[in-house]
Structure 1
């Protein structure tokens, strides 16, 4: 799924916006799942591109700056305030401390220098933390106490999302039989587990009509309207204003 590829990507892959899957020989966009097969030549706007150059062109044209895309992610993912994001945009533009003060219509150059210093310290801490977590993963296999991934569209991340592999498997065994949902749970954590499992019935890069969504959901649970509503409410799926189109929320 989209979220799995995104969160398991390396820092360099997140910066470039795509990954290379050696087993299949595909370059895959982390934002929309568009794929380009190695060895195939792609004609784009009258120019022929090899797969790697084609995916770079695609990311730039379809999604713009990865810097802006990552910066636009919520605070729960970036840990950044709106003011910090604004400063980072100015730093990206190469503005001097004095120029940034002028853009902000206030403050001082010493304050901007202090922000630069804090960002550098934050970068160092992030590197050390990534190394620690990398070593932790190297030394243990994914077990029953490992947490499952949180979907990127989650509206509010709290203790409801602290779900282990064991909890997920137990809930799915309890609530599903022969691929159908026996009853929709009332507890929030169980709802999330069930909804995330149901989401696997949908393709990440496909647009669905409401009728198609209803057909898929009715094959799982008779009260498909309730499931559809919660998929939207919990940020698993999104739809346009008139409800004629649905898609997995990246």
Structure 2
């Protein structure tokens, strides 16, 4: 998911342009001027992307709430509270459902409102700073830093990678056909390589383990199971409990 999108677009889960409507949650695109049949109904691009989000993702609020706490800044109890609020439940119902006092629910409501104020102030402050200095905080001396993928399982300096560093790693560890020459030992370089490997997978489909192995074997025949394991560990892919189905993690 592109976290640089406008807040309004992030909240509704899709972005619109002159030529298409694109789901921000998985990247699926719907061309303007086409009619899409979904659930026995006909939709234009805007209606189709909204229907797609309902079918595939449930709703945008739940999708956003289920992002890692390192991205949302929301605690587990606040997440649960927000989910119950989204169902239209009153404080008393929420208190009974969560097994807490009604006053505790009100206290959490207050904290969430304060968090919203802080977020708005922070966004305004960052925008003012960028306009004043014409420099984004995400820049380094070598240029803009790479975006962290939304499903990352850890957030630290291993993601402090510039585009120049990324290109150098790819040239060093991968050939012109995208095959891996050797798997890097440094964590930062692993992330660059794994992100590049993920370009071989589509976000809107499921893969069997046999399909995953076949794709990864073409990329790194020496030890493709290790690559598969790292794709799971680093949050690039999801795997079903029985290991039979793999999906690009959104």
What TM-score, normalized by structure 1, do the two folds share? 0.82
SS at match of 1:184: coil
Q: Structure 1 residues 188-197 or 168-177, which shifts more?
A: 168-177
Counterpart CA distance in 2 for 1:182 and 1:211 is: 22
RMSD: 2.7
Equivalent in the alignment of 2:228? 228
SS at match of 1:238: strand
Deviations 1:79-134 (A, max 9, x none): 1112112222343344444554444444353x443332322221121112223334
Counterpart CA distance in 2 for 1:135 and 1:195 is: 35
Counterpart CA distance in 2 for 1:93 and 1:243 is: 33
1:175–1:87: structure 2 CA closer, same or farther, 3 Å change rule? same
1:220–1:108: structure 2 CA closer, same or farther, 3 Å change rule? closer
Counterpart CA distance in 2 for 1:78 and 1:133 is: 18
Counterpart CA distance in 2 for 1:102 and 1:225 is: 47
1:106–1:42: structure 2 CA closer, same or farther, 3 Å change rule? closer
Equivalent in the alignment of 1:57? 51
Deviations 1:145-177 (A, max 9, x none): 422112223222233223233332332232233
What TM-score, normalized by structure 2, do the two folds share? 0.82
Equivalent in the alignment of 1:182? 181
Equivalent in the alignment of 1:169? 167
Counterpart CA distance in 1 for 2:83 and 2:120 is: 21
Structure 1 residues 59-74: aligned runs within 5 Å:
59-74=53-68
SS at match of 2:231: helix
Equivalent in the alignment of 1:247? 247
Superposed displacement of residue 46, structure 1: 3.4
Counterpart selection for 1:31 from 1, 25, 28: 25
Equivalent in the alignment of 1:117? 110
- Give the number of the structure with larger relative contact order, counting CA–CA contacts within 8 Å between residues 6 or more apart: 1
Unaligned runs of 5+ in 2: none
Counterpart CA distance in 2 for 1:163 and 1:173 is: 15
SS at match of 1:31: coil
Structure 1 residues 1-250: aligned runs within 5 Å:
3=1, 6-22=2-18, 25-109=19-103, 111-135=104-128, 139-140=134-135, 144-178=142-176, 179-223=178-222, 224-250=224-250
Contact 2:68 2:151 in 1 (8 A): no
Counterpart CA distance in 2 for 1:102 and 1:207 is: 39
Deviations 1:28-56 (A, max 9, x none): 22223332221222233333222212222
Superposed displacement of residue 17, structure 1: 1.5
1:104–1:54: structure 2 CA closer, same or farther, 3 Å change rule? same
SS at match of 2:123: helix
Number of equivalences: 243
SS at match of 2:206: coil
